[in-house]
Amino acid sequence: MRPALLLIFLILSGCQSVIDKNQTLTSLKSKSVNTIQYSQEDDLWQVIANRQGIKSVSNSRVQSRIDWISNHPEYLSLISKRAEPFLYLVVSELEKQNVPIEIALLPIVESDYYPFSYSHGTAAGLWQFIPSTGRMYGLEEDWWHADRRDVLASTKAAANYLNDLNKMFKGDWLLSIAAYNAGPGRIQRAIDTNIKLGKKTDFWSLDLPQETEKYVPKLLALSQVIKNPSRYNQKLLEIDNKPFLNEVELDSQFDLALISQWTGLSIDQIYNYNPGLKRWATPESLPYIMLLPEEVIDSFKDNLSKQGQRPKISWTRYKIKQGDSLSVIAQNYNTTIGQIMSVNELNNDAIRADKYLIVPLAQKSEGYYSLSDNQREKSRLNIQKNSEKIIYTVVAGDSLWKISIKFDTTINNLLRWNQISPSDSLSIGKELVILRDNKNKTELAKITNTGIDINRDIFYTVKEGDNLSRIAQKYNVKIAEIRSWNDLNEEYILQPGDKLTITINVVNSNLS
């Protein structure tokens, strides 16, 4: 099966963007040549710093990324907080599969360790798997759950994928990491071109997309910075070298409100620790592995034993009305046709008026499940609909932290509103969108504002004769925006075949 997958990889391109409960990293074998007493490593960042297996590289491309990190002192502090629940799980899986430990930093490059990250319209999760590659590595998605966002499943898949890429590129980890970003087919074509031209075929010698040329140096820069963070103006939150989260196997479907009640965790914490969850309950497909903090697991198990065989989700007896269908009933009760059919032992979707169905029912109102897919989408639209948009121009000395204080908002809001990550350049003159509650909105403004400000990423292939001005005019955007979205410097000249990401407003833009 695996060799067949490797052949398929050659025609793919795109960003791709479990643990032994009784074993800690201190007892795992190291791949380092030097003998180090890892039992003394209490901080996971130090573990990663000490056990690195990819040869350090110093050149201008790596140094430019190090300089950027040094100029953003809040950067890794923010990342540390996001990574804390997941870093032990990630490091454990990588070491188990003999992947270099600094690959644990790759989710910083991919998603800033934000498990709900969703970029370019398709890539999702910490590891930014696209759907096609995810499916090759067993990452499925249904109405209840998305494996690409599931930390355990996606980490295992990423380690497998990277090992396969490493075999394909004969043990060269820099080429393997580049292929994770650009796709193995794109990297192989660049190698073949250099062979024909009599050039070297190492990563630094290849002609690759700008994003990929920066992708590998970003990882190498991070691997150097964490060895001595204070030298680079960074402060890392210490993360204990022991499990923060552990697995609980569920043998029935659970309402998340019940889990919150049993554990004392907020509903947001449950979603954040289990970002693969899409709805108000765990999946109907069993068993399901739930991640919970170590300190609440005993409480959860104690409540579970008291509950016994009683249902872990609520049900209602629904009387079928004239004109009802299973799809309408499923939509109204935020569930699936399959689940209704299964519970009621229906052989088909034919139903009759005045008969009764048993239908699953969430304990709380829909708004309670704040990080479900439906609520996150509603939140995004409502923020834009009820807000005043301010365009702020970055000045010398600005940082995301300073701007967030100035406008009484959060760094995460700035990142979301501007579709940027903490590692993106905040250059002088860059324009940022700030959304503020507009309580004095006039009726005229309400009429002229559609209330739907939906941005959509499209991918444009540069044609013969194209230039940035023509493309910007076609999609009613600014040249500076196209440069920013695609990380193009002023000197870059478009070439036919280049792929551009363009963010458009689906109400006002020309989609043709």
Which residue spans within 175-324 are E strands per DSSP? 245-250, 288-293, 314-319
Number of helices followed by number of strands (H, E) in the chain: 22, 10
User: Residue 142 contacts by C-beta under 8 Å, 6 or more apart in sequence?
Assistant: 283, 285
Instruction: Determine the residue type at 483.
Output: R
With contact defined as beta carbons under 8 Å apart, do 452 and 435 qualify? no
With contact defined as beta carbons under 8 Å apart, do 282 and 291 qualify? no
User: Residue 332 contacts by C-beta under 8 Å, 6 or more apart in sequence?
Assistant: none
For residue 360, what are the β-bridge partners?
315
How far apart (Å, rounded) are the C-alpha atoms in residues 452 and 161?
A: 39
Q: What Cα–Cα distance (Å) separates residue 127 from each residue in 151, 185, 473?
A: 9, 19, 34
Q: Degrees (nearest 5) of the Cα angle 19, 20, 22?
A: 135
Choose, from 41, 102, 110, 213, the residue flagged as catalytic. Answer: 110
User: What region, left, alpha or beta, does residue 480 occupy, with left being phi > 0 and alpha being psi -120 to 50 degrees?
Assistant: alpha
User: Residue 35 contacts by C-beta under 8 Å, 6 or more apart in sequence?
Assistant: none
For residue 146, what are the β-bridge partners?
141
Is 110 among the residues known to form the active site? yes
10 Å Cβ neighbour count for 426? 19
How far apart (Å, rounded) are the C-alpha atoms in residues 181 and 19?
A: 26
Catalytic residues: 110
